[in-house]
Structure 1
């Protein structure tokens, strides 16, 4: 398990530091959900977890990347995330400029997910014949395709297209880099597609990536509309409902909190793709949507990260959405998944 990388190459500095601690699988999963008091730091460190030896389930590593040498207090915050390493010495190293280039590329090999091929500029010449390619650099938003949650969504979208599904009104909630909205538009080019995110920076990044991939931005069919909003709390998102395809790759907690809103925005027979949750959280997420009249139709498991497709029962009544709604979610984002 690893998180998509931040814009390391843009912020490379001779004063960047990496802290490494061993951790258990359970601690790695907990970090994916909540980075604790580290979120209060400005800027917070980038956390990554990895499983160096798959044959040893509890032999994981936590890596924390800091801009500037971390204070003893910041180091203590990281250590608090991994109680199993309480009596273990941590490794703290300054990262040289040359290492940033290596790190920024290490996890960014091209990704093939069904018909989709996601690559950086370094691999632009490797697009397979017949593939639907997207140029997405590691940057300020989540969703380069390298995390299992994003890859699972790409496979789910690809499978729906392969089986002949047709969609006309699509929303990607928590879009990150815009990749999933772009993939949906590629499969259903005449659909009305909207990409939203609670983070305005993600919408800026999505606009940049749309330009990079020659994807038209706008409100007409065949274009991708961009909205900065929490959940569906925006007038455009409300007007476009009900949707026949909704995609939400965020976190388990927000997915559960959004269950009434997303379900109400889905037309009978419509599909809802959910990701950003762990296997251990899937039952709770499914139950939250079952209570809203949705059933589980399909599931793709990629390591510890399931991608779910739920379908609104055709007998369900479509409820109208308010023009604006306080989701009560606070400042949730996608970068924990």
Structure 2
């Protein structure tokens, strides 16, 4: 089925949200509207609509003018089997001892690795993104250094691949939480696909706001692969839930944002242990020293 997109940018959260709401009243109506702040510190917001029919470009032009937005860029997308496309283009990934693959590459799993099956339909968290890859490498690095813990938390877990990786090499049952209930369902499905049901506790939670997370503290290792803003906001809570001498692996950080994140956690008694840059993204491994 051919689909259409219409995107624009404008300044201000309130204006962007108002434009998004107005787009929902278009005829033909979009089957989805997204409103997101751009992560480039420009202060701009992106508003996009997705349509199964060609959108009313005159109506879009009126809305853009009314809300002070740039003219909408309208695109027609050809019919594509996206899962098949992803399967073709996502090759297996090795991050230290961990080997991430889709079922279509099951015959490529080498000997002597910790294999993790992550299906292409669940694309974020397959290990191809620099943030997930950086976290897996950081985990492998800690294990190679001789570190181990039976208390691990994965905050903002997505596919829960990080918690699963920790469960493969260390004792204990990691906690994996996400604000999105769909992500929690995906995490459970990934555990089942890897014959790991019950080895990770999956929870719906905002940050550390869940009694099961509090019960497990203090943690020897906490993953938080989210974004700079939430990471900075979480610094006091994350540090409070981390055991002295424990580590935090943080990512979702653009390279130019790393110093701000390090400063926020340094103020909470967490010192830099290792820093890795992969493309545009930085992964920080911190140690709680106080």
CA deviation string 1:200-254 (max 9, x = no partner): 111111001100000132xxxxx21111100010001001100010000001000
1:152 offset after TM fit, Å? 0.4
Q: Match of 1:194?
A: 175
1:138 maps to which of 107, 120, 143? 120
TM-score (norm 1): 0.68
CA deviation string 1:130-153 (max 9, x = no partner): 121111113467312111000000
Q: Match of 1:252?
A: 228
Q: Match of 2:208?
A: 232
Could you tell me how far apart the structure 2 residues matched to 1:144 and 1:65 are?
A: 27
Could you tell me how far apart the structure 1 residues matched to 2:63 and 2:273 are?
A: 41
1:309 maps to which of 282, 285, 290? 285
CA deviation string 1:84-117 (max 9, x = no partner): xx79x957233224x5355333542211111111
Unaligned runs of 5+ in 1: 1-13, 22-35, 48-61, 218-222, 317-337
Which has more strand, going by share of residues?
Answer: 2
Could you tell me how far apart the structure 2 residues matched to 1:100 and 1:211 are?
A: 24
SS of equivalent residue, structure 1 residue 184? helix
Could you tell me how far apart the structure 2 residues matched to 1:256 and 1:101 are?
A: 35
RMSD across aligned positions (CA): 3.2
Could you tell me how far apart the structure 2 residues matched to 1:45 and 1:102 are?
A: 25
1:96 maps to which of 79, 83, 86? 79
SS of equivalent residue, structure 1 residue 177? coil
SS of equivalent residue, structure 2 residue 174? strand
Q: Is the CA contact 2:98–2:165 (under 8 Å) kept in the aligned structure 1?
A: yes
SS of equivalent residue, structure 1 residue 158? helix
Q: Match of 1:15?
A: 2
TM-score (norm 2): 0.79
SS of equivalent residue, structure 1 residue 214? coil
Give the structure, 1 or 2, with the largest relative contact order (CA under 8 Å, sep 6 or more).
Answer: 1
2:99 maps to which of 117, 126, 131? 117
Structure number with larger C-alpha Rg = 2
Q: Match of 1:207?
A: 188
1:157 maps to which of 134, 139, 142? 139
SS of equivalent residue, structure 2 residue 112? coil
1:183 maps to which of 142, 145, 165? 165
Q: Match of 2:39?
A: none
Classify 1:102/1:172 alpha carbon distance in 2 versus 1 (closer, same or farther; 3 Å).
Answer: same
Unaligned runs of 5+ in 2: 9-15, 25-30, 37-45
